[in-house]
Structure 1
Amino acid sequence: MAAHAAAFVAHATRRNALPLDYSVASLRVVDFVVSGLRKNGPDPEHAASALFGIGAYVGEVLVRRAGAVWVDFDATQRAYFSQSVGVRMPDGRVWNPLGKVLNRFELGPEESLQTFYLTLHGRSRR
């Protein structure tokens, strides 16, 4: 998933000098990127590749800043989250950054990715 996040960063910063440095503050930039994708209406099929890359980026921020690790979801988790991968926090909780990005895309700004991080349970204190 780290490679997918890096590919998203490379693509997103190719023409624009976006501060995508895996910081918590960069999640605000990611919120703006998702808002830009929504301009033509929230059609997740049209934006699927970009949303996957953004989800990988958000997950990688959790890995680098909150002590999470990428995990393959078991069958029950896959059914619940509708995703095959997610992150496990230091306290053992699992979260679904890919699904969170889809929620942000489909539901709008009230599903902020930066707020998701800031209110996330189970982060390590760094």
Structure 2
Amino acid sequence: MRACAAGFVVHVTARNRLPLDYSVRSLRVADFLVDGLRKGGADRERVAGTLLGLGAYVGEVLVRRAGAVWVDLDPDQRTYFGQAVGVRMPDGRVWNPLGKVLNRFTTGEAEESLHRFYLTMPGRARRAAA
């Protein structure tokens, strides 16, 4: 997933000067990107690769800033989250950043904010938020 996130950043920033620097603040940019896809009327299948890249990016922010690690989900977790991978926080909790991006895209609700997801997430390591 780390390579997926890096490829997404290279692709998205090639023509735009978006501040996707794996900081907590950059999750606001991720919210903006998801909202733009949604407001542009894109259907989920057409933007599936972009949503996957955004989910990988959000997960990588959790890895770099909150002490998470990427994990392959077990069969029960795969069924519950609808994804094959997630992140495990320092306290052992497993989260689904890919699904969080899909929820933001599907609903567009402020409660699904990727930035808020990070800020309210229990179990993260106490690191300086950039």
- Answer yes or no: same fold by TM over 0.5: yes
Q: C-alpha distance in 2, partners of 1:40/1:71?
A: 33
Q: C-alpha distance in 1, partners of 2:41/2:102?
A: 13
Q: Establish whether residue 117 from structure 1 lines up as the match of residue 122 from structure 2.
A: no
Distance apart, 1:49 and its partner CA = 0.3
Letter in 1 for 2:115: Q
Letter in 2 for 1:93: R
Of the structure 1 ranges 41-50 and 53-62, higher mean CA displacement relative to structure 2 is found in 41-50
- Structure 2 residue aligned with 1:61: 61
- Structure 2 residue aligned with 1:45: 45
Give 5+ residue unaligned stretches, structure 1: none
- Structure 2 residue aligned with 1:92: 92
Q: C-alpha distance in 2, partners of 1:22/1:88?
A: 18
Distance apart, 1:12 and its partner CA = 0.7
TM-score by length of 1: 0.97
Give 5+ residue unaligned stretches, structure 2: none
Q: C-alpha distance in 1, partners of 2:76/2:45?
A: 24
Q: Residue by residue, what CA displacement relative to the aligned partner does 1:64-105 show, whole Å, maximum 9, x if unpaired?
A: 000000000000000000000000000000000000000000
- Structure 2 residue aligned with 1:27: 27
> What is the percent sequence identity of the aligned residues?
72
TM-score by length of 2: 0.94
Q: Residue by residue, what CA displacement relative to the aligned partner does 1:27-72 show, whole Å, maximum 9, x if unpaired?
A: 0011111111112336211110000000000000000000000000
Q: C-alpha distance in 1, partners of 2:43/2:97?
A: 19
Runs of at least 4 residues off by over 6 Å: none
Q: Secondary structure at the match of 1:99?
A: helix
